[in-house]
Chain A
Amino acid sequence: QTLCQQWPYCRKRCSYCNFNTYVVPAVDEATMRACLVREAHTLLRLSQVHSITSVFFGGGTPSLASPHTIAAVLEAVAGAAHLPTNAEVTLEANPSSTDTSRLTGFRAAGVNRLSIGVQSLDDTELRLLGREHTAAEARKAVEAAKGLFPGRTSIDLIFGLPGQSQDTWAQGLEAALGLCDDHISLYQLTLERGTALAAQVRGGTLPLPPQDLLADMYQTARTVLVAAGFRHYEVSNFARKGALSNHNLSYWRADQYIGVGPGAHGRFVPQGEGSCSREARVQTLDPVAWMREVQCQGHGTRSRVVLSPLEQLEELLTLGLRTDEGVTHERWRHFSPQLSLQAVFGVPGEARALQEQGWLLLDGSGLRCTWAGLAVLDSLLPDLLCQLQGR
């Protein structure tokens, strides 16, 4: 059971981001803090989980919050459920709000893992992305983080920027390898609707990166990082020395998670109400409305939808196949005690054809993508879902 905290504020909106974030002149941090604490408490009680294995402060830019707020939330979690001392507590941080003193404060508050939004080590690219920091600042932030969170500092990188070439990407990757700790997240730029970058590409002022180039960049990255000793454990995530993100793994394994804060998503069984069905929950998006709701009723849950057994399996399949371990027999059985993985995907049909074509593997440990299959997972999933729905 994990807990994800949303801090919805940013100092500036990045050109590629369509997350639920807000840029406001002054954040009422005291109220925000009180509400995060209260909602965490309410939802933890509702879920009746005994133990929280990881906490993730995401956003927005949670590193803009004060260490005091982080500490208060962690105290609330520890008060409502068991929070073991070795629980993974990750904070998403921007290089522009992570000087050593702040980082020390976060560490003192209980944070033990840092995920830094470096995105690029090239100033031109950073400007294109609308980031607030320079490459030099990013380097400094990562060095400082490595000192305080050795072996537990992750960096985010983006590739596939308009105009980026295979060579510049390879150089950027090399620079990142020289800087990084033991975890890297590599994201192909997604041109989300409504973002400034997408508008520029659509308007023709920026070129759309060709599909084949993106595929080449991805293959290069996979090859280079694996050669450097990293395990490619999820589509966009790489770790060495076992420094995987346990929190994120819990999403891909379809564990229960509780989302706290404006726009946070959750998947858990509200046992506190006597229910035994897994629900998909979303908290109110707008921070002001969310705070009002938390103050009135203790939580800002805006929607809750009971997931049918089929929907739970669809999610497990979609998420699980993103990882190198895939969907294990054990995990599948947990959601589907009657119908085995073999019975659904081992029989003649599309899934078997995909196995024969070398995109998928079904063996003693479970169902997973091959090296080639992982890169085209989204072309495999519709067929797999069709076959699952047919059973």
Chain B
Amino acid sequence: MALAGRTAAWWARLRSPCPAAAPLCLAGWMPAAGGRWYSCRGKEKLDMSTYPVESIRNFSIIAHVDHGKSTLADRLLEITGTISKTDRNKQVLDKLQVERERGITVKAQSASLFYNHEGINYLLNLIDTPGHVDFSYEVSRSLSACQGVILVVDANEGIQAQTVANFYLAFEAQLSIIPVINKIDLKNADPERVEKQIEKLFDIPTDECIRISAKQGTNVEKVLQKVIEKIPPPQCNTADPLKALVFDSTFDHYRGVVANVALFGGEIAKGNKIVSAHTKKRYEVSEVGILTPNEQPTHKLYAGQVGYLIAGMKEVTEAQIGDTLFLYKQPVEPLPGFKSAKPMVFAGMYPVDQTEYNNLKSALERLTLNDSSVTVHRDSSLALGAGWRLGFLGLLHMEVFNQRLEQEYNMSVILTAPTVPYKAVLSSAKLIKEYGRDEITIINPAQFPDKLSVSEYLEPTVLGTIVTPHEYIGKIIALCQDRRAVQKDMLYIDENRVMLKYLFPLNEIVLDFYDALKSLSSGYASFDYEDAGYQTADLIKMDILLNGNPVEELSTIIHNDKAYAAGKLLCERLKEAIPRQLFEIAIQAAIGKKIIARETLKAYRKNVVAKCYGGDITRRMKLLKRQAESKRLMRKIGNVEVPRDAFIRVLRRETDK
């Protein structure tokens, strides 16, 4: 779930089944707050009974990427003594190497904060959310775990596309929204302008905005106070039978599955016998605790609280995200669980070497436990052997997943060209019988049915939101038209910023739309999108051939109007990505038997280093041995050797985002 959905739909959905009889707030005594929480980890267990639901607040921080969400989270953790104050607290909740390297949050994290306000000790559960379009699905899940959000907007950049999208997610979930204008310490900060934008677009009075600098800590305390004042507590009851929602899980090599749970009713402690509503399997709880953000064991967890439990689950498949846990012999009506994340992009994944199949299989199983938004189907191909077809939330998600496989599991893989889930309405009786239905979803170009047996093809669409300074409108409209998009709305959010809404075919934005938009607007335009159903489309399958041999990784389904241009572009880029070889290479794009584009990579005519004397030999040998080594890892298509990363490189316009 990780990428999508860390914290689930629990609280919001809970509202209905929860009886109103909430226990009285006893103004719980709290064992000396502050720095003690992190320093005593492992020594002393916390007593969570001192936090009745009235003193609990569940909230998320939502923002456009880079508007300072993670920095604000760091400050909140510091102020509440959850982590100690040092200069090193940078993106504390971004634990993954890939998150820190790319400066994005991929896997949402939650942290329990303790905060005393007007004599009452509060338990504030902060659910961090991912900051990229690809992961907006997870944002909505995180939101459904909350009763309120902090909406962070950069005082310099103002409202961006993701701000708009996130606002509506929170608004539609009927959450309390606390608008915060961040980075007021910056030279070009213009909080007044941003307040006006917020008023115009979101109808929030300007005086409700809190101006802060998360970096310097200015007014951050005020944010915490607002969280307590404006966000209502969750509604549920400790006296009810246990009802715990598994909203995330991680796999620990030593302890097995660590399930993150949210309690919708009752309480849970070590020694409790629990049952999974999904598998009906019985477990004994060996540890419960809260996340601060590291695991902190507690005696119990109570209704309204968020934490983790370990219960001897050994198999990754045992901790289904969305599952409900209850006490043995005290069954409850299971929670609705989650709709599984809807993959937008599919790609084939194969081991570089088939002997690595089983290792890759177990790495995939483990990684998908932490990222259940990835769908996995077994697949095989003549050229690439046995592998899988994976579904991702977007291209960044796919890259991040791949990077995590490399970094955390040391696996190198072959990835095929990403494709979106097309549909075909079948007309051939034979095919309808074969599939057992007359409409199929195509997630692998190899299964693209011929036009003769299809009455129509359908392609997925999205509604995209673009926010841009007005001087780029012309270029952006041209870009959108080029991407077959239809304009739905255009609105000035202040004198010089415009919000555009377009209906896009999904495949037109999956690969490089964001990069193109960024580059033509010097980085100023922002983009977000949401699912908008299917539309009919004139689709064909295009193959790429190297000296006549098809490159399975690059087969794509494409709109008829775009085939020539795309084929030409792919051939041109492949020419750049494939090193010259001892023979000439024909790079061709083909539709069926018809060649629609061709590039020729000429043979090497000279490739020999000029100087090789005594002092050059060591360096020379090192280089040659590296080349000999990488030759073993090259993908051979016919007799053409292709570096493994060449295909994914040609599919992106820029190698680095």
Contacts and interface: CB of A to CB of B under 8 A. Distances in A.
B43 interface: no
Contacts of A264: 614-615
Contacts of A363: none
Interface in B582-601: 582
Contact of A248 (B609, B610, B613, B624): B613
Interface string A212-226: 101110110000000
B611 interface: yes
Interface string B618-632: 101100110110011
B254 to A, nearest CB: 39
B500 to A, nearest CB: 35
Contacts of B605: 211-212, 215-216, 219, 375-376
Contacts of B625: 314, 385
Contacts, number: 105
Contact of B610 (A188, A385, A389): A188
B602 interface: yes
Interface stretch (A132-140, A293-301, A315-323): A315-323
Contacts of B614: 4, 251, 257, 259, 264-267
B580 interface: yes
Contact of B617 (A189, A216, A319, A381): A319
A266 to B, nearest CB: 7
B610 A282 contact: no
Contacts of B628: 381-383, 385-386, 389
A357 to B, nearest CB: 7
B617 A235 contact: no
Interface residues of A, number: 48
B582 A382 contact: no
B612 interface: yes
B608 interface: yes
Contacts of A379: 581-582, 604, 607
A contact face: mostly helix, strand, loop, or mixed: helix
B606 interface: yes
B461 to A, nearest CB: 42
Given A359-B582, A386-B632, A187 B610 contact: yes
A378 B618 contact: no
A144 interface: no
A10 interface: no
Contact of B582 (A251, A259, A357): A357
Given A212-B602, A265-B614, A265-B615, A374 B608 contact: yes
A171 interface: no
B608 A376 contact: yes
Contacts of A385: 624-625, 628
A236 interface: yes
Contacts of B582: 357, 359, 376, 379-380
Contact of B618 (A236, A282, A376): A282
A378 B609 contact: yes
A182 to B, nearest CB: 20
A286 interface: no
A215 B618 contact: no
A261 B617 CA distance: 17
A386 B608 contact: no
Contacts of B608: 235, 322, 374-378
A311 interface: yes
Contact of B613 (A251, A311, A314): A251
Nearest to B580: A211
Given A259-B614, A265-B618, A314-B621, A378 B602 contact: no
A260 B620 CA distance: 21
29 contacts: A189-B610, A190-B611, A212-B605, A214-B606, A219-B605, A235-B608, A251-B612, A259-B614, A264-B614, A265-B614, A265-B615, A267-B617, A282-B618, A311-B621, A318-B621, A322-B612, A374-B608, A375-B605, A375-B606, A376-B582, A376-B605, A379-B581, A379-B582, A379-B604, A381-B627, A382-B624, A383-B631, A386-B631, A386-B632
Interface of B: 580-582, 602, 604-615, 617-618, 620-621, 624-625, 627-628, 631-632
